[in-house]
Amino acid sequence: MNLSKKDKLWYAFIAVAVILPCIPGVIGGSFFGHVATMVLLYASMAQSWNIISGYGGQVSFGHSVFFGIGAYGAGLAVVTFGSLPWFGAPLGMLAAAAVSIIISYPCFKLKGHYFAIATFAIVEIFNRLFMIWDAVGGALGLDYPILPDGWVNFSWSTTKTGYYIGALAIFLLVFGIVRHIERNRMGYYLLAVREGQETAESLGVNSTVVKLGAMALSAALAALCGAFFAQYNYRVDPPMVMSLDMSMKFVLITILGGLGTFWGPFLGALVLIPLQEYTRAYLSHLGPGVDLIIFGLIIIIVMVKEPRGIMGLLGYISRKLNKSQEEAEKGGNR
């Protein structure tokens, strides 16, 4: 089989990611294991948002709602019903997909910044709703009981290896789905709607169905990430999962890496998440918010130089290198 450059990079990444936990001391109970797990999780979260906002062109600031529904799905299964997160997670995904369709159908009648503002409002509505909803723990949220370690409860107290493997599985699922979308009709439909909805409809594309389908898929995958997040943190409450701060993480990671690109969400997470975690660990004595200051500086610098994010910068560097190589070859031929 003739593999493309993107395919080779994908399989090489999988090989490295699978080998990491097999190397003694790399993941285990190390801080690096925590950071690697968070990079994979946040990359998956950003990629789920990238489906509807990057490929579909519908900029949503409300994905923390779906993320939170998934987190509460897993949390309710464990804390309230004494069940397993394996049952709560898929139910949370279904609930998030259903809610996304219900709230997106009227919102899709809006365009541009009006749609974005509406999604902002939805986050606040759900945040306040869950804050006063006693059935889900209200403002106090849900605190997990101490559970035996193992895959049954998806819980480990002394090692990050299990969580890393779980985050890697979610990463491969989300990015695998996006790879499939890119190469099939759904991807072309999304790009057509993004570039010109009226033009796409004139060619026979049902933009409403395409956008609702993409939103439902995006919401379900965000909910899966939320379920993992609740398991990893052993608790869930509204400010933790259903907030504008969490929604902005979906957005910033993707924009920094490259909106509407396959590797953009991963590259954004690879820069921002280690920065966030290591500044909290080693620069906490400087006060809260140091990581956000550095976030802002990095995003400003990258956006000024290349609005397409890190993927745009890499493309720019690649073109420069190729141009220099061509000029050198021409000079040598003379």
Q: What does the block give as tokens for 102? A: 């219900």
**Residue 66: domain span:** 15-333
* In contact, 290 and 279? CB cutoff 8 Å: yes
More confident residue, 314 or 46: 46
5 located within any domain: no
Measured distance CA(55)–CA(189) in Å, rounded: 9
Print the SS3 string covering 288-319.
Answer: CCHHHHHHHHHHHHHHHHCCCHHHHHHHHHHH
217-226 pLDDT per residue, tens: 999 999 999 9
Q: List Cβ neighbours of 222 (8 Å cut-off, separation of 6 or more).
A: 45, 48, 49, 63, 66, 67, 70, 96, 250
141 located within any domain: yes
69 located within any domain: yes
Predicted pLDDT of residue 262:
92
Q: Is the pLDDT of residue 1 over 60?
A: no
- Tokens 């987190």 map to which residue? 71
1 located within any domain: no
More confident residue, 296 or 36: 36
Predicted pLDDT of residue 291:
73
Q: Is the pLDDT of residue 102 over 90?
A: yes
DSSP symbols for 104-169: HHHHTTS-THHHHHHHHHHHHHHHHHHHH-GGGTGGG-EEPPP--SBTTTTB-SS-SHHHHHHHHH
4 located within any domain: no
| CATH number for position 66 | 1.10.3470
47 located within any domain: yes
**Percent of the chain predicted with pLDDT > 70:** 97
Q: Is the pLDDT of residue 325 over 70?
A: yes
Predicted pLDDT of residue 5:
75
Predicted pLDDT of residue 43:
96
Whether pTM > 0.85 for this model: the answer is yes
Query: Which amino acid is residue 75, in one-letter code?
Result: G
Q: Report how many domains make up the chain.
A: 1
9 located within any domain: no
Q: What does the block give as tokens for 274? A: 């280690």
Q: Is the pLDDT of residue 332 over 70?
A: no
SS3 content of the chain, % helix, strand, coil (to 5): 75, 0, 20
Predicted pLDDT of residue 23:
86
300-316 pLDDT per residue, tens: 887 787 778 888 888 88
Predicted pLDDT of residue 317:
83
Q: List Cβ neighbours of 295 (8 Å cut-off, separation of 6 or more).
A: 252, 272, 275, 276
3 located within any domain: no
249-300 pLDDT per residue, tens: 888 899 999 999 999 999 999 999 998 888 887 777 776 667 777 777 888 8
Predicted pLDDT of residue 2:
62
Side-chain half-sphere exposure of 273, counting CA atoms within 13 A: 27
* In contact, 258 and 269? CB cutoff 8 Å: no
Predicted pLDDT of residue 72:
96
pLDDT band at residue 19 using 50, 70 and 90 as cut-offs: very high
Q: What letter would DSSP give residue 25?
A: T
175-229 pLDDT per residue, tens: 999 999 998 899 899 999 998 888 888 888 898 899 999 999 999 999 999 999 9
Measured distance CA(42)–CA(265) in Å, rounded: 8
Q: List Cβ neighbours of 268 (8 Å cut-off, separation of 6 or more).
A: 43, 46, 252, 253, 254, 255, 256, 257, 258, 309, 310
Mean pLDDT, the chain, rounded, equals 88
More confident residue, 81 or 111: 81
